[in-house]
Chain A
């Protein structure tokens, strides 16, 4: 089989939109039945914006419980996504037929630590892209030992690398647990997963970052992500994807759209090529097709309105320096990226705050400071400069204190008059 030459359909689309000054917007959307899924993709394709389609799989498929997915389909029970393996590749190919194409590539989104069956299915169905990673889909989303997830993801990357039409792979490393993970750690994980993908033969990839609690800090973080991607992944066809806030979401329509539009402006201002949106009903339930369409149009319009002026000075609070330190240190811990990742987590040198997975040290802590910036409360074993000074920020965390931090953006956007922090 001839090795892939140049980027695949997904990246070509993103590049084209980017050269036309358009932000690619994408939903997180999946429905149980073929009819709903197809209707969803149709509606997203028809949105007045540069959109790519999404098939989000359901959570049974994510944990390889395909029997439960099949049972739910037979009983007509509600699934929270599209059970791609239970439906099978042929059915999925039909869902994509006549919809997916050069002007509308489709990504399969999942959350699986052991995604071999899913990857076989999405490749056979002709999907353009998928996402995840050995760390980002293991520690927050499974009980699978990290070493096992690393092996499974290595195998899956090699499967994708062997296909003549490249399948794009995006790292979910920039989203760990959605909130309260310091920006430099998010960036490091995304770059490290990118390096892992590259090590296993992939060249058509993206790195991610999720909007946090302070726009200036997020601008700095995305700038650092891009600089590090250029340095470490410069020989790949990479782009960056931003996620609209993945934590506790505002409940009011106004608040929800306020946060969504802020993420679209952040994407436009930071030169991010693609944005994964959230909807107005995110806080309470899985959104409908119309609600997704509405969110995509809102985000696209907000990005267009944001004048792409000469970027003002990029703030420097040390995010780049911290991330570079984490990445370079991690890579010394193993003979390849996968081994280095496993060893780094075993030592607590990589550590996701609050993550309960048995292979995560769960010693480091983050907090939201009085300027609304997401900072370290205690880096514990994570090797960043000035770690010892930062450890003094640690305070005993109460349920109330945690809830206050988790709901920081919800409060800020639902009740702007009650909070003094800048938007």
Chain B
């Protein structure tokens, strides 16, 4: 699990780690402001079943596209399951077009702020959770 390079938000990562672990997942949490290169080298080292990218600062669309292109361009990571979610743009969850673009560039799934958690966990092959929706957490913005 990771954020993207420009996003410092943490509560989303803390919550998702607990949620995934409670549903049988084993989580390596790379934390916030993760450079693309770190995400890729850790994926190559750990060989996870899936990479979950959670971001809420509004740059997720830009940073996510850049990252997934790098990931899919690497022969060792081309087939890894990669999903992204959170608040991906600065205008709220309104742009179906940007979701399609993310998928077209290689994401296996895109979950905006109010996405269904069962669908998210199901996509990762994990069990049914207690809470119903992903939190739209915001910890700060200076």
Contact = CB atoms under 8 A, between A and B. Distances in A.
A56 interface: yes
A354 B57 CA distance: 19
A2 interface: no
B59 A178 contact: no
Interface in A332-382: 354-358
Given A111-B140, A354-B14, A80 B59 contact: yes
Interface stretch (A7-15, A161-169, A241-249, A259-267): A241-249
Interface residues of A, number: 49
A355 B136 CA distance: 18
B89 interface: yes
B87 A399 contact: no
B63 to A, nearest CB: 8
B93 to A, nearest CB: 8
Interface stretch (B28-36, B43-51, B71-79): B28-36
A142 B8 CA distance: 6
B5 A63 contact: yes
B18 A65 contact: no
Majority SS of interface residues in chain B?
loop
B138 interface: yes
Contacts of B90: 78-80, 285-286
B29 A178 contact: no
Contacts of A132: 142
Contacts of B136: 248, 283-284
A179 B139 CA distance: 7
B142 A354 contact: no
Question: In the complex, which range does the number of interface residues on chain B fall in?
Answer: 35 or more
A312 interface: no
Given A77-B62, A399-B130, A56 B141 contact: yes
Nearest to A354: B14
A42 interface: no
Nearest to A284: B92
Interface stretch (A148-156, A230-238, A302-310, A402-410): A402-410
Interface string A32-72: 00000000000000000000000010011011010010001
Interface in A64-104: 65, 68, 72, 77-80
B10 interface: yes
Contacts of B24: none
B129 interface: yes
A356 B87 contact: no
Contacts of A56: 141-142
B32 A406 contact: no
Interface of A: 28, 56, 59-60, 62-63, 65, 68, 72, 77-80, 109-111, 131-132, 140-143, 172, 175, 177-179, 246-249, 282-286, 354-358, 397-400, 402-403, 406-407
19 contacts: A28-B142, A59-B6, A59-B57, A60-B6, A78-B58, A78-B91, A79-B90, A111-B8, A131-B142, A141-B140, A143-B34, A177-B11, A247-B11, A248-B136, A285-B91, A286-B58, A354-B10, A399-B19, A406-B137
